[in-house]
Structure 1
């Protein structure tokens, strides 16, 4: 696929118009979608919270009513006298009949009560359950609900469970239990009121929580008190689902199109939880998507038609101008262009015609400048070869000759001759890695003869690099800088190490490392490249001229310990 910049202007205009239309429709659609969804979700949340709070207050009133009934029995003098009997043989009497009539009256006026059970500490038992034997039951007193009621100052509400006293074992009840005590807080027994399950359901059934919404009640022990599906009372995994639902974050529920609201009931350990399904939000989202698809399709068709007409009117004169440029590219500078179109295109054609007379002249001027620049750079570099080096070398030869050291005179003379031969040979701007290393080797040999033990050097190169073509006289200025600005100040011997190695891809690295004093002023904020003199700057600029801005010279400065100069080149020299 072609890059965007290579597409035709007609295609670009069409794509731009269509993309702009899609963006506008998409932005408006998203804004409408999210704002409407947020508003509807907020309204559903308010409605759900109101419904749950209302039902919670009704439950509180109902629980208070049940507690009132329990107070009526638990504080009845007849109940106290009956269950305070010192003997279990006394099972009849006025007190028992009064209590039974009181229980029956409560059952008649409160049909949602399944059963009322009074169990004395000495085994007395009064209840409306016909199948429960009226004698002392140690099993009943050992049950959890009985033990929980002991010592309680308030009635204890249980979770939903099977009514063990009823013949119908499928009856689910919720029990209210409390301890029976006299005025001196002496334990007399336990009162238990079994509430039919549908009594709670009748209070919660009118809540509008959506098609898949529901409500449930958990107690402090996270046991299920109420749920529309009785399976949640007996199956542990389903009970854990309700606990997880209560602890889920809002964003997790949003992904499932649900929201929850909890209401903690006063004077009990129950929490009422409403789970609303966002059916309305889901329907609204589907409707918005349909509207956006239809609206987007209409706008896209309109945008495509209008943009096609506009793109053709713009592209036609540009195409004419392009054909004229093709003729100029073939060498026909006498081409005339008569372009009609917008003011910008007409101006463009006018400027194009005026530029034809200057193209050849400017291109030739640029070519001449580039050639002159490269020649000037190399000449500048040649001029930077310090004349003092030549004088000092000749002095060294004279000094060796005076002492009759003919072999060393011959070696230094040969090294100097090869040094200048490699520098000036053929007038070429390039050389090979082999000759460049040989060039700097001759230079270091001559300097070694001069400085003796104060100078040592090593030259190493990886295999396969010797025949690579590079600009010449790159290393000698760096080595000269290392000697005169680094090693010459050392009280003892100095070391220069030159390495040629290949880097990643097509990169070639030439490294000059010394253990001299480094660039001391670089720590004061000065550029090490400027501190190294014209030679270093010249080398860096030549490398960038040949290879581009990504290549050049870098300096790792270690004040007082030396410096490392790295030249980054390509293994292939660009064609000039």
Structure 2
């Protein structure tokens, strides 16, 4: 027993422990690699959103050109009275408040327009510096951008700071009067960068993760820790990439995974940093739980292995494996045991049982195949013979009455119908041939009943499809026979409409051929319609009935193509009946292949 336990530990426990360790290590590396691959993509999207918002804000100065009154104030260069200047300042300041501060631009902290020696403004907060108007006025007149492009300025560049601690930048853009080709001044928009919080919050919720935005020189414009805004990232110059991920390990600090992305227009760098330990925190919990469960399973399994080892033999293991193979459906197994003991007897009984099962399955399969072939043959061959007698009788009457031309036409149609019936030994014909056959049948009935029968055949699909796709033989005539039989009993004039189309099948999930046969006959009562629908669900042949034609056609279609296809009935008493035939789109080569398989089985 001691050797068994040692062997079990060496062969099972130790490899599984090694497997758990390797799996954990590989999984942790995989998590780090995946985060390293996907985080730059998230940063790229966040950077794109930030850049998009900044670009939207750079277009705000253009709104000034929507007001001729404001343009008039900006174009004015001198004042005769001080009151005129005050009036203009009041008007423009009010306009800035309505348009930029109190509007939908929540990210705008303040708007400042410098035109000549005038400073117009409106702001949500004041500056810490008392002479801020002079600073803005002097800075806005330096190095104007004649091209009209906007410039991003940090608060430190202008030595201006709002009284609140909200992170912000200035967007500076010249106001160019294109009509007069003249520069009217400069607009400065103080942008609240807190909107970045809403962007980055969508993909980072870890409180230990840091995320910041800095300009190309490393000056931090925004940081999740607002105390670091305005400082310089000294490590930026040592970043191996500006679009990607890398690991950092500073002495005395835990290793971190850093992901960066730089915008193409502004040049801002968005950086995400998270300790590696946080990436595998959940993995560590799973590892600990797995180790605990593994130890419990090993102890229990070791005790069970010791108990059952006394009664376990190799032949029984082999027999157990073969039985599992049989359970999966593979009956080609053979238990080779030559001993004459109880195990040998069990093996011989097992082999005998498997051989008997194989024989029974093969026998039942052959019986079912033969039975289906017999039923299909019977269904296809039982077509109403009374039509021949009635047609010949009508031809005879036409000859007696001297209607030679009509008699010739009817003989021609009847001959074509008979040739269609006996010349093609296949179970399938083209849709065009089947439609022509029922057209000949209806034409003969038209000759016989004259004005009492009217029919129309409409093809929604093209002639090529009619000749390219195949259908089971004799599926239209039995249904039309039923319509004429019951329709003429209650109607003076019977109308039959046949339409061939291509539709999507909800059951088959494919584009199917659908043939609709609609008449204005007496309809089918509800209880009889329910009985008929139940009969259609039975695929086997049950002999003739009052609606044998419908059952015949449905059974042949289902037996040839499966339960996704067949007949559907819609009927209203006193209004008429519609029979819908659904068959798959089958081409000639598929029909030939199916006929060859049937011939081989026969």
Please indicate, yes or no, whether the TM-score normalized by the shorter chain is above 0.5.
no
Give the number of the structure whose alpha-carbon radius of gyration is greater.
1
TM-score (norm: length of structure 2): 0.40
